[in-house]
């Protein structure tokens, strides 16, 4: 993630861009948001003047007070909604030009609410992308058993979603999105309904799979510990309308052990700085609400 000139002034103290692990990323951004604003038809301004570059192969966290436009930002990236001002530009996939490289699906998303198809088995849910895109049959064929294995769902391949626990259903939703081999994966508070131990276990699965496939990720979350555990950089949005209020590179490298990471003093220190910035925005939002 590269801070634009406009955002550089708001970066948190000590958050030097050089501290970010760039062993994989650092190439051309997957997408660039330039002065993007979005207002709903009813006049509610969701986000204002956001400029960000989403770099290839990296994980960007987006946090902020409730209603600050985090999910609207994802909807803009997913082209579910379109900016009312500014523009989002996409760069060509560098992998597509490499000989023998498999084409990547542009984008998939894991939603906060369930998107599993209850009439399909676990494996059929993961293969859903394949059934929609017949030309991708061969390469997805190899990936699916691997994804089931990595998320410990292989022995449940013939079960139906209603037969799975909450954590297993979330893992399934995640690999269903990953089976498409997306260039950009959007995660919209996908693990917020899970208990802490289950969530941490899934974090490790997400990290392992996303790093292995070199997927670029934008994660929207309320959980700062989740953001620090998974992301290469965390952006704090200001209260509505959402604007970039602060940016924090996460200096823990690409290969992380989430369980161990949480015990490190640097984790707690970064968590504290994020919380400070977020609490400023929460107080600001409350004050503005009280004024109204």
Partner 1 sequence: MSAETLHASASATMTSKASFAAEQRRAARRRRGRIIAVQLLILVAFLLMWEFLPKVGWLSDRLTFLDPYFISSPSEIWATLGDLASGRDNSPEMWPFARATVEASLIGTFLGTVLGAGAGLVLSNSRMLSDVLRPFIIALNAVPRIALIPIIVIIFGPTMKASVFTAITVVFFVVFFNAYEGGRTVPPQVLENARLLGASKTQLMWRVRWPHVLAWTVTALPNAVSFGLVSVVTAEILTGTVGMGRLLLDSVTTVQASLTFAVVVVLSILGIVLVAIAEVIQRRWLHWWAQGD
| Piece in contact with partner 1 (CB under 8 A), picked from 44-52, 116-124, 228-236, 272-280 | 116-124
User: From the CB of residue 82, how many other CB atoms can be counted at a distance below 10 Å?
Assistant: 11
User: From the CB of residue 18, how many other CB atoms can be counted at a distance below 10 Å?
Assistant: 7
Beta strands in 81-122 (DSSP E): 85-90, 105-110
Strand pairing class (59-63; 233-237): parallel
- Enclosing H/E stretch for 261: helix 258-261
Q: Does 73 bind partner 1 (CB under 8 A)?
A: no
Between 180 and 200, name the residue whose CB sits nearer to partner 1. Answer: 180
What are 190's two structure tokens?
Answer: 């996908």
| Contact indicator for 50, 221 with CB cutoff of 8 Å | no
Give bridge partners of residue 220 from the DSSP assignment. Answer: 62, 188
Q: Which residue among 1, 143, 180, 244 contacts partner 1 (CB under 8 A)?
A: 180
Cis omega (within 30 of 0) on the bond before 241? yes
| Piece in contact with partner 1 (CB under 8 A), picked from 95-103, 154-162, 197-205, 279-287 | 154-162
**Shortest Å distance, C-beta 80 to partner 1:** 6
Between 23 and 133, name the residue whose CB sits nearer to partner 1. Answer: 133
Q: Does 163 bind partner 1 (CB under 8 A)?
A: yes
Q: Which residue among 48, 105, 127, 171 contacts partner 1 (CB under 8 A)?
A: 105
Total of residues contacting partner 1 (CB under 8 A): 25
**Shortest Å distance, C-beta 40 to partner 1:** 15
What are 94's two structure tokens?
Answer: 């560098």
Which of the residues 124 through 153 are near partner 1 (CB under 8 A)?
A: 128-129, 131-133
Give bridge partners of residue 262 from the DSSP assignment. Answer: none
Q: Does 1 bind partner 1 (CB under 8 A)?
A: no
**Shortest Å distance, C-beta 236 to partner 1:** 26
Q: Which residue among 43, 118, 263, 290 contacts partner 1 (CB under 8 A)?
A: 118
Length of the chain in terms of residues written: 292
| Piece in contact with partner 1 (CB under 8 A), picked from 10-18, 107-115, 207-215, 228-236 | 107-115
| Residues 117, 56: Cα–Cα separation, whole Å | 30
Q: Does 57 bind partner 1 (CB under 8 A)?
A: no
Say which residue the tokens 């989740």 belong to: 226
Q: Does 122 bind partner 1 (CB under 8 A)?
A: no
Cα dist from 138 to 127, 131, 154, 190, whole Å: 12, 11, 19, 29
Q: Does 117 bind partner 1 (CB under 8 A)?
A: yes
Which stretches of the chain bind partner 1, using CB under 8 A?
A: 78, 80, 105, 107-109, 111-115, 117-119, 128-129, 131-133, 160-163, 177, 180
């Amino acid at each position: 993630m590269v801070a634009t000139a406009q955002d550089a002034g708001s970066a948190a103290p000590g958050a030097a861009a050089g501290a970010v692990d760039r062993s994989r990323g650092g190439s051309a951004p997957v997408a660039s948001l330039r002065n993007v604003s979005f207002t709903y038809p009813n006049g509610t301004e969701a986000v204002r003047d956001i400029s960000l570059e989403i770099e290839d192969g990296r994980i960007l966290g987006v946090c902020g007070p409730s209603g600050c436009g985090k999910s609207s930002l994802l909807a803009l990236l997913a082209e579910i909604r379109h900016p009312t001002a500014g523009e989002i530009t996409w760069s060509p996939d560098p992998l597509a030009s490499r000989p023998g490289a498999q084409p990547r699906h542009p984008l998939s998303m894991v939603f906060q609410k369930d998107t599993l198809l209850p009439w399909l088995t676990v494996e059929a849910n993961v293969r859903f992308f394949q059934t929609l895109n017949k030309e991708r049959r061969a390469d997805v064929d190899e990936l699916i058993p691997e994804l089931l294995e990595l998320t410990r769902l292989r022995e449940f391949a013939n079960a139906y979603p209603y037969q799975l626990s909450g954590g297993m259903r979330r893992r399934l939703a995640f690999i269903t999105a990953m089976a498409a081999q997306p260039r950009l994966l959007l995660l919209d508070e996908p693990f917020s309904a899970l208990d802490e131990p289950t969530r941490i276990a899934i974090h490790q699965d997400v990290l392992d799979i996303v790093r292995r496939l070199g997927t670029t990720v934008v994660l929207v979350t309320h959980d700062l510990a989740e953001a620090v555990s998974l992301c290469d950089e965390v952006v704090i949005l200001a209260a509505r309308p959402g604007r970039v209020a602060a940016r924090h590179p996460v200096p823990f490298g690409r290969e992380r052990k989430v369980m161990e990471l949480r015990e490190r003093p640097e984790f707690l220190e970064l968590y504290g700085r994020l919380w400070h910035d977020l609490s400023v925005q929460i107080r600001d939002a409350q004050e503005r609400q009280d004024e109204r």
